[in-house]
Amino acid sequence: MVQRIRLTGNEMRYIALFENLTGEMANDCIIDEKRERIILIVKPGNAGRAIGRHGSRIRMMRDMVRKDIEIVESADTAIDFIKNSFAPAHVKEVRITERLDNRKVAVVTIDQRDKGIAIGKNGKTAERTRLLAKRYFGIDNVVIV
């Protein structure tokens, strides 16, 4: 982890709503106005319960806030966190390197059949992974190969 994360009032309200609707705790909330979505970080293993059967709990929250809701499981290492962010795509390998200009880059090898899932519609999933990798581990870029 790079730094302590500070939440705004709106982020705290979304976390409270999420916890009331799903019964699961959220560690973090990111409001992405550009993509009209809310990204919630939950403990490892809790994403399925938070989403609910056939997405029922997330659908209910999405209907209430009129924004897409995305759930990512947290992890202790950058490699595991990046893998979780790309789920359900099959990640073969994650390599993190530090360039000469001290910028960290994660190179992620994705199974060929899952590249579309990993990139997401209009690059949405890849952008989410870059945002989270920067926020949590100071990784400046995530490259998908």
| Residue 1: pLDDT over 90 | no
Question: For 9-73, which CATH class?
Answer: alpha beta
pLDDT, tens digit, for every residue of 116-133? Answer: 999 999 999 999 999 999
Average pLDDT in the 98-115 region?
A: 94
pTM score: 0.90
In CATH terms, are 9-73 and 78-144 the same topology?
A: yes
Q: Tell me which amino acid residue 19 is.
A: E
Higher pLDDT, 67 or 3: 67
Q: Which two tokens stand for residue 74?
A: 């947290």
- At the fourth CATH level, the homologous superfamily of domain 78-144 is K homology (KH) domain (3.30.300.20)
Which letter, b or e, does each residue of 89-112 get, where b requires 16 or more Cβ atoms within 10 Å of its Cβ? bebeebebeeeeeeebebebebee
Q: What pLDDT does residue 129 have?
A: 96
pLDDT, tens digit, for every residue of 51-82? Answer: 999 999 999 999 999 999 999 999 999 999 99
Burial class (CB in 10 A: 0-12, 13-18, 19+), 68: middle
Average pLDDT in the 86-92 region?
A: 94
Structure confidence at residue 3 as a pLDDT band (50, 70, 90): low
pLDDT, tens digit, for every residue of 25-36? Answer: 999 999 999 999
- Domain ranges, ordered by start, for the chain: 9-73, 78-144
Q: State what percent of residues in the chain have pLDDT above 70.
A: 98
